[in-house]
Chain A
């Protein structure tokens, strides 16, 4: 049996209330707020966070789908595998070029498992797209990642059928050098592009699986506007109350992540026997039908508890943070020699374990920090949670969002490290608080992106 074995989502903590955008441009606000990446997040870091939630179960493949990958040439999936400390034997691939990147990666992973070339693959859809300032896209685009693990054991939702269709319909695109998405949003685009493709995919699926629309209990339908997916459901004969909320009000339209995010949310509420329809749109459509199994009852659900949020109150500050990573070139240019030699330390977050005194320490060193023993020291991964030993709140460091909170963290299982704290209300920083280590973009160099670890409050 091929199907879904686990799921997770990653929603950035920062929210931009749409009223804040509207007041900046003296325009009308779409209701609600959108989830926005912090200045140190991108589609890669969000995806890594979503994948990390599904570990330590060891996948044999990581497939990354996005239209906003930080590199044209350098595999995000390979980076995610390394930052998740997965072995070199992990198969990796990046899917891109379409809002269907997430669902296309899911389709590929399901087929690999069915074919027997993969036993457990994690598919992660992630996007952090930009609409032009003052555009409708700026109002509705949100940032998020969602990961779906597929396999053939302990399946919580069995694949019944999938379909894919291609349609070079001109409604939304971004050229190689474009910063912002260009959109021809209109009634024509919605009906001829989105609705026509989604409906066709849905009808093909129902036919292929010989399932009547009234048997669909949950429909996870990606949407370009947070509304027209209801027209698709209606056309397919699925009652509106079985359609997953598009999350336009709380998160936004999240690109390649959106169909996987809605699928994960459907799974988080599903009962054994539910039939879930999932459709992703973009240059055609991908559709999936899953039947939820008894196995889902073993999961400690809900898994997707909403976390704390940090609302922006200023559009200029939001805009400054949004620009920061693209414009900053004040970081170091590293040699690949240094990068490679310290890969297990900086990327995989390994420390040194001393077998004589039992001290786990960071960074990697040839002599034990505690007992000065040199014999038998081994590399060991650090745990990525801990408590705050001390901190500062620094206004001198050149940051787009001062103060920079520096944190000294005592990790569970041993090891202490100094790093920046992120996603935090600085007035709530206190010694002893619980934090988790998270992967973040550091200051960029002229020719390279830097990724390293920060910590943030848990919850």
Chain B
């Protein structure tokens, strides 16, 4: 067993663009907007950054393919920059890699930048890239999770009405967030009557397609006070990869994600968390589709497998519940500009821990969690952040 990252790395600055249809801004515009917001928040200039990690899943139009996308956007030349791509967990994995480098003592200050410009593309949703020409042809992003949802209902009960509660909750939170793509309240009836995208998911069960960027500046914990007093500490990091072909494995139960369970166990071990539902005060989790959030409650250990329907049903994950989940509004309200999402979650958790979240502020927020889930649930990354 290796060491823990606990209290070795501090987040000293965060920035986040407005998420949405940013038709008038380029990839570079968004990168600059998020990065300089984070620099400003940390009270530094770009020259202070010693190394950077860029999270972009799907380069388009020459942007995001490699490290140069960050270098040219920020004019940050002559420094080590790494592009990270790990399905929908790209953003948190970029953060994780940066934390490892700072914790090693090789760099004092590092930048994590997640950018994705999905709305520059001519197509709806996200094309399947780099996949086998036949195996899985026909499967879309919602379709992948819809297969799990149908299996889950078959085994544990629940249905579209259960899913609608997640959409209503997350939109309600997002309506309080000026950076969210969709700042609207929806009713269960609206959710249930929306057109089907991939049964059992209707339109409001799916996160929108969005542009956005988010950034974080991190440094060695022992020097964080040089930048600000209310810095936030990295308490735990977990990451796990399972099969990218889960539906070809006869042992796969199809009702949740072992990747999340393993990533959470690792992060909790590092953070010293034994009872997550009590100790974690807020969680930003990967609600790409409403059912995914229900599975996340279970896989993150907030409740037993099969009990997620009650966790949402009893209002425990609401802003007023005992463990608010996605107080930001989640992917449901923010959309999912893939590389940006994980960093955007970290922005929210940091904002909550600093008690700067305004009307969506969670009370007594001393420990917060961010969770990304990528591919067919194959890549999970969990970040636990805490007050000093």
B107 within 8 A of A: no
A43: CB under 8 A from chain B?
no
Other-chain residue from A331, A404, A414, A419 in contact with B250 (beta carbon distance below 8 A): A414
* Pick from A338, A389, A418: contact of B135, CB under 8 Å: A418
Given contact pairs A390-B147, A420-B137, A452-B134, A395 touches B198 in the complex (Cβ within 8 A) = yes
Q: Is the CB of B250 within 8 A of A396?
A: no
| Nearest B-chain residue to A403, judged by Cβ | B199
Given the interface pairs A390-B150, A396-B124, A418-B248, the reply to whether A331 lies near B133 with Cβ below 8 Å is yes
Is A397 a contact of B151 with CB atoms below 8 Å? no
B362-383 vs A, Cβ < 8 Å mask (1 yes, 0 no): 0000000000000000000000
A397 and B143 form a contact (CB under 8 A): yes
Is B254 a contact partner of A396 (Cβ separation < 8 A)?
no
By a CB distance below 8 angstroms, the chain B residues around A443 are 137
- Contacting B140 at CB < 8 Å: which of A338, A362, A396, A450? A396
- What 0/1 readout, one digit per residue, does chain B (128-143) give for beta carbons within 8 Å of chain A? 0000111111111111
A392 interfacial by beta-carbon distance below 8 Å? yes
The reply on A317 being an interface residue by CB < 8 A is: no
Residue of B nearest to A416 (CB): B250
Question: Is the CB of B154 closer than 8 A to any CB of chain A?
Answer: yes
Q: Are A392 and B154 in contact (CB under 8 A)?
A: no
Counting CB contacts under 8 A, is B249 at the interface? yes
A395 and B150 CA atoms in complex are apart in Å by 16
B223 at the interface (CB under 8 A from A): no
B146 close to A (CB within 8 Å): yes
Q: Is B197 an interface residue, CB under 8 A from the partner?
A: yes
Interface: B210 (CB within 8 A): no
Q: How far is the CA of A450 from the CA of B132 in the complex (A)?
A: 13
Task: Find out whether the CB atom of B134 lies under 8 angstroms from the CB atom of A397.
Answer: no
Main secondary structure of the interface of B (DSSP, over half): loop
Q: Is the CB of A394 within 8 A of B143?
A: yes
A contact residues around B75 at 8 Å (CB): none
Chain A, Cβ-Cβ closest to B200: A392
A332 at the interface (CB under 8 A from B): yes
A440 to B43, CA, bound (A): 61
A369 within 8 A of B: yes
Pick the contact of B245 from A332, A363, A390 — CB < 8 Å?
A363
A residues less than 8 Å from B125 (CB atoms): 396
A359 within 8 A of B: yes
Contacts of A359 in B (CB 8 A): 250
CB-nearest residue of chain B to A396: B140
> Which residues of chain B from 274 to 323 have any CB-CB distance to chain A below 8 Å in the complex?
none
Q: In the complex where A389-B254, A392-B146, A418-B247 touch, is A332 in contact with B133 (Cβ < 8 A)?
A: yes
Chain B residues near A370: list those with CB within 8 A: 251
Asked if B133 contacts A334 (CB within 8 A), the reply is: yes
- Are A392 and B147 closer than 8 Å at their CB atoms? yes
The answer, yes or no, to whether B196 is at the interface (CB within 8 Å) is: yes
B86 contacts A by Cβ under 8 Å: no
Contact: A408 with B147, CB < 8 Å? yes
Residues of B136-176 at the interface with A, using a CB-CB cut-off of 8 Å, are 136-143, 146-148, 150-151, 154
Interface mask (B35-49 → A, CB under 8 Å = 1, otherwise 0):
000000000000000
Q: A363-B245, A410-B250 are in contact. Are A394 and B146 (CB under 8 A)?
A: yes
Which residues 374-421 in A have Cβ within 8 Å of B in the complex?
389-397, 399, 403-404, 406, 408, 410, 414-420
In the complex, the chain B residue whose C-beta lies closest to that of A426 is B199
Q: How far is the CB of A345 from chain B (nearest CB, A)?
A: 9
Chain A contacts of B195 at CB under 8 A? 395
- Collect the chain B residues with CB atoms within 8 Å of residue A408's CB: 147, 247, 254
- Bound together, the chains give a CA A370 to CA B196 distance in angstroms of 36
Within 8 A of A (CB), among B203-255: 243, 245, 247-252, 254
C-alpha gap A332/B241 in the complex (Å): 28
Chain A residues within an 8 Å CB radius of B254:
389-390, 408
Q: Which one of B132, B147, B151 contacts A406 once the chains associate, using CB atoms below 8 Å?
A: B147
Q: Which residue of B lies closest to A443 (CB)?
A: B137
Q: How far is the CA of A101 from the CA of B128 in the complex (A)?
A: 42
Interface string of A237-272 (1 = CB under 8 A from B): 000000000000000000000000000000000000
A408 to B248, CA, bound (A): 8
Separation of A395 and B198 alpha carbons in the complex (Å): 6
Q: Chain A residues near B245 (CB, 8 Å)?
A: 363, 418
Say whether A346 faces chain B, with CB atoms less than 8 Å apart.
yes
Most buried by A among B137, B138, B148, B197: B138
Q: How far is the CA of A431 from the CA of B141 in the complex (A)?
A: 21
Are B135 and A392 in touch, CB under 8 angstroms?
Answer: no
Question: What 1/0 mask marks residues of chain B from 102 to 144 whose CB sits below 8 Å from any chain A CB?
Answer: 0000000000000000000000110000001111111111110
Measured between C-beta atoms, what is the minimum distance from B134 to chain A in Å? Answer: 4
Complex formed: what's the CA distance from A361 to B246 in Å?
Answer: 12
Q: Is the CB of A36 closer than 8 A to any CB of chain B?
A: no
Contact A406 B143, beta carbon cutoff 8 Å: yes
Rounded to whole angstroms, the CA-CA distance of A399 and B248 in the bound complex is 23
Chain B residues closer than 8 Å to A419, beta-carbon distance: 138
Please state if A393 and B134 are interface contacts (CB–CB under 8 Å): no
With A396-B198, A403-B199 in contact, is A442–B250 under 8 Å at CB?
Answer: no
7 pairs of A and B residues whose beta carbons are closest in the complex? A392-B146, A393-B199, A418-B247, A390-B151, A394-B198, A452-B134, A420-B138
A369-B249, A394-B143, A396-B197 known; 16 other A-B pairs, CB under 8 Å? A392-B198, A393-B196, A394-B197, A394-B199, A395-B195, A395-B196, A396-B140, A396-B141, A399-B138, A404-B143, A414-B250, A417-B247, A417-B248, A431-B150, A442-B134, A450-B134
Query: Could you jot down 6 A-B contacts, CB within 8 Å?
Result: A332-B133, A391-B147, A392-B150, A396-B142, A404-B138, A442-B137
B interface residue numbers (CB < 8 A to A):
124-125, 132-143, 146-148, 150-151, 154, 195-200, 243, 245, 247-252, 254
